[in-house]
Structure 1
Amino acid sequence: MEPLLDTARMQKLDRFTIDEIGIPGAVLMETAGRGVVSKILERYGDLVGDGRILVLCGTGNNGGDGFVIARVLKNLGYKVTTALVGDVDKVKGDAKVHFGALIKSGGDLVAVTEGLSTECPGEDWALIVDALFGTGLTREVEGLAAKCIDEVNNTPVPVVSVDIPSGVSSDTGQALGRAVSADMTVTFAHFKKGHFLHPGRALSGEVSLVDIGIMPGHYLEEAPDLFLLEPSDLEGAFLRGEDSHKGHFGHVAVVAGSSGKMGAAHLAAAAVLKAGAGLVTAAYPGGLAAQVNFPPEVMTLPIGGELRWSAEMVTKLKQLISSVDAVVVGPGLGLDAETGEFFGQLLRLEGLPPVVLDADALTLVAGDRALLPGEIKEVVFTPHPGEAARMINSATEVIQGARELALLKLIDAFHGTVVLKGASTLIGAPGEPTLLIDRGNPGMSTAGSGDVLAGVIGALLARGIPTFHAASAGALLHGIAGDLAAEIEGVEGVTASDILRAIPEAFLAVEGFCNPGEV
């Protein structure tokens, strides 16, 4: 898994490399700048041609990288203008070394005092390099710098950001007042949290990593706490023996559905099978039989003759729950008081296997924490931001503004594995690092998508995969399936059924370590 570093850890690695290993900072800066140039020419060399390149620099180390980039591009024969935003007297240390080298090599420098449109009119820019602010930025961007960022964003040419788009928090991905929207970001040594936490993920564009000689993350005294989960991390996780039978892959009970919401139960149960479980039984209120349309492979257990759940139904579930390997509870379950009582008693059944709580189950828990027994251990919570907000008495915008912190609060409050859904899904559990999924697309914001995810996780739990690992793998597979569905249907046309159909191909993508669409 690839670690995603925060600013403090990255700065410690920088200092360790310079102070303990003995590689001068100016050398690292030179290597960084040359690495960015290599990536620029690799992607935009043909586009730039004889056009002009604007390198926008601040007065700090990010600007120092920009000075190197400008000098190297000039020496390669490109037409380059360096725009310095800030007082030249504030350029210090290694950045000052490379500022001097740029000037001595005849670099074209403009000191920006009013704005780019005034002092660097960009009608014929072919490319803009953003080296204004780096990963150390913590303050709000304002004044001239904010104006320059707005002008960059309004210029219809490719933008390459150095290390991180200027104005994006390296720790949270949030925009600090203003932020550059880059087409490509070239970063050094390690990816940063802000590259993958939204809106930083969208603002970073394509993120490319360059090795400049900074020591790797395992030299840190304080280990990284956020990692990017990728298909290659699941190598061999889903292999089947030639002598396998359905009993090897577990039996899942899906306790779901209510009047008008049986589609949620259908999707969850079907996803269990598509994700490789050997057996699935869908339990639902018997009075809803006319609304049932499960696939033929799904076994069914209609309970009683009512249209909704009641506490009396729990006794009729005892035998099923005691015989299965995992339970999915919540999709379309309902939110009335009787259903809440049923839900609380269900979770107290003796011998309850690992359980996935989704959708209405999460809302019920948020409304009455006492429904969740203290002794329940193997549980996966799968909230979207709105559900997460209800669970910890917060607000959706607060959750989205600090998703990593919100995840930790959920784990602390509920003592289980949590999948915080949304753009850049996060997974965590007590004693485990936080994992991030950089798969999926806006088309997955559709009814039933979460029901499919719950079924996938349930299937992996039934195989005997521990809760944290089942939740992580399930979220990655779900994201890949969503991307595969979008390739066929387009982002606007993706439905939960499309994601469901793509699950088998998502497994192929994981096993073959390839990108969706290459299988």
Structure 2
Amino acid sequence: MKMANPDQMKRIDQLAINKYKIPGVVLMETAAQRVAEKAREMLGERLQDKKTVVIAGKGNNGGDAFAAARHLHQWGCQVAVVSLVPAGEIKGDPEIYVRILEQLGIEINYLYREDDLPVLHKLIKESDLVIDGIFGTGIYGDITGFNAKAITAVNNGTAKVLSIDIPSGINGRTGQVCGVAIKADETVTFALPKPGLFQYPGAGYAGNISIADIGIPPEAVNEANPNGQLIDSRTVAGFLPKRPADGHKGTFGKLMIISGSAGMSGSGTLAAKAAFKMGSGLVYLAVPKSLAFIYNAAIPEAITLQMQDDDGLIMPENLEVLKCISNTMDVVVIGPGLSTKPQVSSWVGSFVVECRKPIVIDADALNIIAKQPHILLERKAPTVITPHPGEFSRLTGLPVEEIQKNRIDEALGFSSKYNVTVVLKGAGTVIANPNGEYFINPSGHPGMAVAGSGDVLAGIIGSLIGQGVNHEKACAIGVFIHGRCGEMLAELNSGQPGFLAGELCGLIPKAAADILKNAQACTEDGRWIAFE
């Protein structure tokens, strides 16, 4: 599903209005209907007994709020309307809805001075629902003054909260909090998902997200050509590899995992198990000879390639053998449990450069190349790197805090500079490609933050590439399925932590099957855009 940042969404709106001649007030009316419908759903039965306070700011978000208030009023709900800007500052389409409310006899409370706060607090306290139309997706900089106090008042109240397009105070591009932000129970966003709704901390403020169809022509979206995608079941179902009935083990990919050091044999084992569960036909484990018996016992389905080692470390003299074997493979995964000691780091860079097959670089291999990232530019085959924020910090030289404030742009910048696909892990995993396109993954669960979870992901992505899936699509499929496995495991655990990474592997086939089923079941009714 395509995703638009605030600038791209503004361009799409302008095309819809100026080129395709859909009046802005028509788009606002449709948006308000969707908001009002969601509000009615949140209020439940006996609407006439429920109280809603609608808080409008300056701009089109405020206009959406004013228009939604009219619908709720007409349905019998008790509605209090608040404007956080003086009447004289409301212009354009929003002013149309102010005049409509006035003609209907609906009082608008203009509250924007310090001594208006007690009135605002009283309205919020008496309400069952607050509709947040204070700020839109394009906000940047810290919110201060009365607006900040209004947002705090909403957050301190007990009423449910419905945000229009995005919780006020969340940056629509990065998901960062602009000093203070509305903590919503539900958010109705319009036409396309916004990145800030699926990047933390913003994702934690949005509550349940619904995407409303407000009549934006697909032609406007296609012409604006936003570069982001939100991964969902339909996206993944379209990317999953077909499995011919007359295939054999060689048909479904040969994957080599270069892994292993004393005490870290679990990493390669998990990656191999995940690859098999994702559908690989043949998985080879290139591991230290002295540790091979562990892998043979842990995963007998894999073929062990016993590398000369010293105290459980793969030595430099294996380089030529590894290069030769890699040429017979469809894809290579390197790094899980490998170690960063000098005996290993002395040959990893050369292997990465000279390997002529697609490669997934993970864990210790990432930490080794962090000292020489320029070698990535020397690769001739597709390259995927799978860093968590700490590893990405070592690769870029940027503090983790700075990376987390703008994950999309930082990942895209590195991807473009070094011609690699970046899978920047964490809640709301970002996949950035050198052509400037990116994916955001909404699936997952906090319980997945355990040792070995990343090894499972590396195995899934490697498996998909080995089965012939384009490496960029393989990353999108991989992170989504990985996250779904975490969600399924959380359900089995009644939402509690206590996950083992190995448990994720066993759920991969069911997660893939459920995704296909969900994709087939997705239907749209002209009001809401389904994403699952």
TM-score, normalization by structure 1: 0.93
Cα separation, partners in 2 of 1:219 and 1:346, compared to 1, 3 Å? closer
Q: Distance in 2 between matches of 1:119 and 1:229?
A: 40
Partner of 1:90: 89
Partner of 2:342: 337
Offset at residue 334 of structure 1 (A)? 0.5
Letter in 2 for 1:40: A
1:189 to 2:191 alignment: yes
Contact kept in structure 2, 1:48 and 1:126, CA below 8 Å: no
Partner of 1:230: 232
Letter in 2 for 1:244: G
Contact kept in structure 2, 1:328 and 1:458, CA below 8 Å: yes
Offset at residue 118 of structure 1 (A)? 4.2
Alignment of structure 1 residues 260-409 onto 2, 5 Å: 260-289=263-292, 292=295, 293-306=297-310, 307-349=312-354, 352-369=356-373, 372=376, 374-409=378-413
Cα separation, partners in 2 of 1:318 and 1:196, compared to 1, 3 Å? closer
Offset at residue 94 of structure 1 (A)? 1.2
Q: Distance in 1 between matches of 2:75 and 2:218?
A: 31
Partner of 1:26: 25
Contact kept in structure 2, 1:264 and 1:331, CA below 8 Å: yes
1:482 to 2:481 alignment: no
Q: Distance in 2 between matches of 1:515 and 1:453?
A: 25
Partner of 2:508: 503
Contact kept in structure 1, 2:237 and 2:519, CA below 8 Å: no
Contact kept in structure 1, 2:51 and 2:128, CA below 8 Å: yes
User: SS at 1:130's partner residue?
Assistant: strand
Offset at residue 64 of structure 1 (A)? 1.3
Offset at residue 95 of structure 1 (A)? 1.0
Cα separation, partners in 2 of 1:257 and 1:146, compared to 1, 3 Å? same
Cα separation, partners in 2 of 1:295 and 1:36, compared to 1, 3 Å? same
Cα separation, partners in 2 of 1:123 and 1:308, compared to 1, 3 Å? same
Unaligned runs of 5+ in 2: 522-531
Deviates more, 1:46-55 or 1:324-333: 46-55
Deviates more, 1:253-262 or 1:13-22: 13-22
Q: Distance in 1 between matches of 2:366 and 2:460?
A: 18
Cα separation, partners in 2 of 1:103 and 1:343, compared to 1, 3 Å? same
Deviation string 1:287-316 (CA, Å, 9 cap, x unpaired) is: 334654422212222323522122012244
Letter in 2 for 1:320: I
Q: Distance in 2 between matches of 1:24 and 1:243?
A: 56
Alignment of structure 1 residues 125-136 onto 2, 5 Å: 125-136=127-138
Cα separation, partners in 2 of 1:222 and 1:455, compared to 1, 3 Å? same
User: SS at 1:46's partner residue?
Assistant: coil
Q: Distance in 2 between matches of 1:43 and 1:241?
A: 47
Partner of 1:168: 170
Offset at residue 256 of structure 1 (A)? 0.8
Aligned pairs, how many?
Answer: 515
Among 218, 241, 257, the residue aligned to 2:260: 257
Say what the alpha-carbon RMSD is for the aligned residues. Answer: 2.3
Among 140, 158, 167, the residue aligned to 2:142: 140
Letter in 2 for 1:447: A
1:446 to 2:450 alignment: yes
Offset at residue 124 of structure 1 (A)? 3.3
Cα separation, partners in 2 of 1:325 and 1:26, compared to 1, 3 Å? closer
Partner of 1:458: 462
Letter in 1 for 2:506: R
Contact kept in structure 1, 2:236 and 2:477, CA below 8 Å: yes
Contact kept in structure 2, 1:347 and 1:373, CA below 8 Å: no
Letter in 1 for 2:357: P
Q: Distance in 2 between matches of 1:476 and 1:347?
A: 27
Cα separation, partners in 2 of 1:241 and 1:183, compared to 1, 3 Å? same
Partner of 2:429: 425
Letter in 2 for 1:252: L
Letter in 2 for 1:26: V
Cα separation, partners in 2 of 1:305 and 1:16, compared to 1, 3 Å? closer
Deviation string 1:310-346 (CA, Å, 9 cap, x unpaired) is: 2012244345323222111001111111111121233
Offset at residue 152 of structure 1 (A)? 0.8
Deviation string 1:161-212 (CA, Å, 9 cap, x unpaired) is: 0111111112222111111111111122222222222222221111212222
Q: Distance in 2 between matches of 1:457 and 1:180?
A: 37
Q: Distance in 2 between matches of 1:89 and 1:33?
A: 22
Offset at residue 29 of structure 1 (A)? 1.9
Deviates more, 1:268-277 or 1:481-490: 481-490
Offset at residue 276 of structure 1 (A)? 0.6
Partner of 1:110: 109
User: SS at 1:172's partner residue?
Assistant: coil
Deviates more, 1:202-211 or 1:111-120: 111-120
Contact kept in structure 2, 1:217 and 1:224, CA below 8 Å: no
Q: Distance in 2 between matches of 1:129 and 1:47?
A: 18
Cα separation, partners in 2 of 1:332 and 1:31, compared to 1, 3 Å? same
Cα separation, partners in 2 of 1:32 and 1:294, compared to 1, 3 Å? same
1:243 to 2:243 alignment: no
Letter in 1 for 2:504: I
Could you tell me the percent identity over the aligned residues?
Answer: 36
Among 509, 518, 529, the residue aligned to 1:513: 518
Q: Distance in 1 between matches of 2:253 and 2:214?
A: 48
User: SS at 2:44's partner residue?
Assistant: helix
Offset at residue 510 of structure 1 (A)? 2.5
Partner of 1:39: 38
Partner of 2:524: none
Letter in 1 for 2:78: K
User: SS at 1:28's partner residue?
Assistant: helix
Partner of 2:14: 15
Q: Distance in 1 between matches of 2:342 and 2:170?
A: 45
Q: Distance in 2 between matches of 1:106 and 1:322?
A: 77
User: SS at 2:18's partner residue?
Assistant: helix
Q: Distance in 1 between matches of 2:54 and 2:314?
A: 64
Q: Distance in 2 between matches of 1:373 and 1:412?
A: 10
Letter in 2 for 1:473: I
Letter in 2 for 1:209: I
Cα separation, partners in 2 of 1:368 and 1:491, compared to 1, 3 Å? farther
Cα separation, partners in 2 of 1:204 and 1:370, compared to 1, 3 Å? closer
User: SS at 1:110's partner residue?
Assistant: strand
Letter in 2 for 1:133: F
User: SS at 2:384's partner residue?
Assistant: strand
Offset at residue 360 of structure 1 (A)? 0.6
Cα separation, partners in 2 of 1:380 and 1:9, compared to 1, 3 Å? same
Deviates more, 1:271-280 or 1:405-414: 405-414
Contact kept in structure 1, 2:121 and 2:153, CA below 8 Å: no
TM-score, normalization by structure 2: 0.91
Offset at residue 33 of structure 1 (A)? 1.3
User: SS at 2:25's partner residue?
Assistant: helix
User: SS at 2:332's partner residue?
Assistant: strand
